[in-house]
Amino acid sequence: MAKWSNLTERQPIATKMLKQMLLRNRVAHAYLIQGDEGTGKKEIGYLIAKSLFCQQVRDGEPCDQCIECNRIESGNHPDVHWIQPDGASIKIDQIAQLQKEFTYKGMESNQKVYLIYHADLMTANAANRLLKFLEEPSQKTTAILMTENSQAILDTIKSRCQTIMLKPLSPTYVQSILEEEGISPENARLFSVIMPNLQQARELDQDEWFAQARSLVVQLIGTLQSNPDETLLFIQKQWIDHFSDRDKLNFSLDLLIYWFKDLVYLNLDQDDQVVFQSYLKELEQARWHWSQADIVETLALILEAKKQLMQNGHPTLVMEKLVLQMQR
């Protein structure tokens, strides 16, 4: 069961603010909680509901033992209602049923809470129906909307909510979760740095395109070191084919940046900071090929290539220019 104290490390600002509101009995009519997957949206929703109903709250922390807390945790509290997408969206019928429920007097008190998970997936009709609901709040009703994409929510709904922005998960936290789920420490380290979003990091473990992308980075470095005259052919025949659009090519440049930053970490004896942990042998070989000055210059060249790409430079020409500069 979630506790405010458990969320403090992950979300110190949001946790402190919400606990103070609860302790001072200044709970807003509606909250919009924005954050990536794994940042604590659902846990916060549960904790707000428990804190409002628990009869044994101590220092803002619900007891997690009383009947109120247990019923909220199990989803069986008569005055706490969860709404989640029905298939691909939250439909108008779900909001209409919620409104109907709230016309009845509370089963055990006048306090009522409704929580909408993936609020950005409401249909237009459902969102407009919810807006009318928010415009006419009852005194002891609290709405908690949760989303990973607040841009998809009507501005008129957002204006009626107090927004709680959750900070992204730290790479260290993501890495620890991935390792607990059985992903190797080497891959967990790489995925957590490249994709601090927990779900996207998980998906990299099953992504064949990413596995090939990582392999191509290592192959490019090897070609630059041992067969530089073949580098342009490698770019034309393999690199551009795999990184086939502007976004993918930009991602490939990010991977190259991580590789050369790893060389910096090795030179500083900070092996624990290395991202490409699975390629320590190849990194050691590269370390002897590229001087510290080379590494710094190469990082600057890659950043310049990213800038040119953002300014609509031709992807193939940008990449060819980069590798020619890296050969010098």
For the chain, how many structural domains are there in total? 2
User: Does residue 134 lie in a domain region?
Assistant: yes
Q: How confident is the model at residue 195, as a pLDDT?
A: 84
User: Does residue 187 lie in a domain region?
Assistant: no
* Cα(202)–Cα(103) distance, integer angstroms: 42
Q: pTM for the full model? A: 0.70
Compute, in degrees rounded to 10, the torsion defined by CA atoms 126, 129, 130, 133.
-160
* CATH assignment of the domain containing 25: 3.40.50.300
User: Does residue 192 lie in a domain region?
Assistant: no
- The last residue of one of the domains, among 165, 193, 225, is 165
Decide if 167 contacts 13 (C-beta within 8 A): yes
Mean pLDDT of 230-255: 94
* Cα(77)–Cα(53) distance, integer angstroms: 10
- The last residue of one of the domains, among 105, 138, 165, is 165
| Average confidence score pLDDT of the chain | 90
- Cβ neighbour number for residue 67 with a 10 Å cutoff: 11
pLDDT of 2 over the 80 cut: no
Q: How confident is the model at residue 57, as a pLDDT?
A: 87
Amino acid letter, 219: Q
- Bridge partner residues of 30 (DSSP): 143
Answer yes or no: do 82 and 154 share one domain.
yes
Answer yes or no: do 18 and 105 share one domain.
yes
Please give the structure tokens belonging to residue 73.
């945790």
Q: Is the dihedral of CA 283, 289, 293, 295 positive or negative?
A: negative
Answer yes or no: do 217 and 150 share one domain.
no
Which tops the pLDDT comparison, 173 or 260?
A: 260
* Cα–Cα distances in angstroms (integers) from residue 225 to residues 229, 285, 320, in the given order: 10, 9, 16
Residue 257: name the closest of 212, 208, 222, 306 by CA.
306
- Bridge partner residues of 89 (DSSP): 86
Residue corresponding to tokens 């458990």: 6
User: Does residue 184 lie in a domain region?
Assistant: no
What are the tens digits of pLDDT across the range 175-223? 988 999 999 999 999 999 988 778 888 889 899 999 999 999 999 999 9
Cα atoms in the 13 Å half-sphere on the side-chain side of 287: 17
User: Does residue 188 lie in a domain region?
Assistant: no
Beta pairing class for 141-147 and 162-165:
unpaired
Answer yes or no: do 10 and 157 share one domain.
yes
pLDDT of 1 over the 70 cut: no
Answer yes or no: do 236 and 145 share one domain.
no
Residue corresponding to tokens 């005259």: 229
- The last residue of one of the domains, among 113, 144, 165, is 165
User: Does residue 176 lie in a domain region?
Assistant: no
Q: How confident is the model at residue 53 (pLDDT cuts 50, 70, 90)?
A: very high
Answer yes or no: do 151 and 49 share one domain.
yes
Answer yes or no: do 128 and 8 share one domain.
yes
Is 22 in a helix, a strand, or coil?
helix
Answer yes or no: do 22 and 142 share one domain.
yes
Q: How confident is the model at residue 140, as a pLDDT?
A: 81
What are the tens digits of pLDDT across the range 257-291? 999 999 999 999 998 899 999 999 999 999 999 99
pLDDT of 310 over the 90 cut: no
What are the tens digits of pLDDT across the range 107-147? 666 788 999 999 999 999 999 999 988 887 666 889 999 99
Decide if 270 contacts 277 (C-beta within 8 A): no
Q: How confident is the model at residue 139, as a pLDDT?
A: 67
Answer yes or no: do 158 and 212 share one domain.
no
User: Does residue 34 lie in a domain region?
Assistant: yes
What are the tens digits of pLDDT across the range 70-82? 999 998 998 999 9
Answer yes or no: do 161 and 212 share one domain.
no
* Cα(270)–Cα(280) distance, integer angstroms: 13
Amino acid letter, 47: L
Q: How confident is the model at residue 105 (pLDDT cuts 50, 70, 90)?
A: low
Is 170 in a helix, a strand, or coil?
coil
Residue 92: name the closest of 132, 150, 46 by CA.
132
Answer yes or no: do 161 and 222 share one domain.
no
Answer yes or no: do 153 and 261 share one domain.
no
Decide if 129 contacts 118 (C-beta within 8 A): no
Residue 102: give the domain boundaries: 4-165
pLDDT of 102 over the 80 cut: no
User: Does residue 77 lie in a domain region?
Assistant: yes
Residue 160: name the closest of 148, 140, 145 by CA.
145
pLDDT of 328 over the 90 cut: no
